[in-house]
């Protein structure tokens, strides 16, 4: 299960938002079912962040959403700073071979 | 069709890579079938970039890979700077409703 969470915050909150998001990423990486949690920032819109997450399966993603850090950091600290949020879940990634 | 292209370059090339990637993004956005092309940079690994792309359909993605800028910027300028590259294509995104 791949998850792309696209979140924007107010311009004045961008640095602080990134710091909280990194803390959330570290906590999420400690979940047994979380295989990867990368934090990326838009080059053109510095108040926009992308979390790129990989979970072992759907129950592992549910466990992430039921975790204490999801509640205490995600819901309590990040969500109030978010001005826009779009979360997409993908389950059928295909690797594209390079052009030769 | 959603595409996530994860590319790393050498530490000394990171700023230049980002500039070329933005130029490539602008050219790609001019394709009729390219609906979105975002450029993101890892907060923890500044030499790692993510392109988050959306195409109208598979032929539109093929048109991207057959475009002059794919050859002249992607293959000729970006690829030689890339130290690692992983491109994944997703076709079944589901939007996750927010937790209440």
**What does the pLDDT look like over B15-42, one tens digit per residue?**
999 999 999 999 999 999 999 999 999 9
Token pair belonging to B31: 């394709």
Q: Mean pLDDT in chain A? A: 94
Using the Cβ of B44 and the Cβ atoms of chain A, whether some distance falls under 8 Å is answered with: yes
The band of A75, judged by pLDDT with boundaries at 50, 70 and 90, is very high
Residue B82 near residue B54, CB atoms below 8 Å: no
The nearest CA of chain A is from the CA of B39 a distance in Å of 6
Q: What are phi and psi of B27, to 5 degrees?
A: -65, -40
Contact A39 B40 (CB under 8 A): no
Residue A25 near residue A7, CB atoms below 8 Å: no
Q: What is the C-alpha to C-alpha distance for residues B8 and B6, in angstroms, rounded to an integer?
A: 7
Q: Collect all residues of chain A within an 8 Å Cβ-Cβ radius of residue B52.
A: 4, 50
Share of chain A above pLDDT 70, in %: 96
Q: Collect all residues of chain B within an 8 Å Cβ-Cβ radius of residue A86.
A: 95
Q: Collect all residues of chain A within an 8 Å Cβ-Cβ radius of residue B42.
A: 38-40
Q: What is the C-alpha to C-alpha distance for residues B62 and B65, in angstroms, rounded to an integer?
A: 5
Using the Cβ of A100 and the Cβ atoms of chain B, whether some distance falls under 8 Å is answered with: no
Per-residue pLDDT at B91: 81
> Is the ipTM reported for this complex over the cut 0.85?
yes
Dump pLDDT digits (tens) for B43-96: 999 999 999 999 999 999 999 999 999 999 999 999 999 999 999 998 867 777
Per-residue pLDDT at A95: 74
């Amino acid at each position: 299960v791949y998850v792309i969470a696209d979140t924007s915050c107010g311009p004045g909150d961008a640095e602080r938002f990134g710091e909280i998001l990194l803390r959330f990423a570290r906590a999420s990486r400690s979940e047994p079912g979380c295989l990867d949690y990368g934090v990326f920032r838009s080059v053109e819109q510095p108040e926009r962040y992308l979390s790129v997450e990989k979970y072992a399966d759907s129950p592992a993603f549910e466990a992430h959403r039921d975790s204490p850090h999801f509640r205490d950091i995600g819901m309590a600290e990040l969500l109030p700073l978010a001005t826009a949020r779009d979360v997409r879940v993908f389950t059928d990634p295909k690797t594209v071979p390079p052009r030769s």
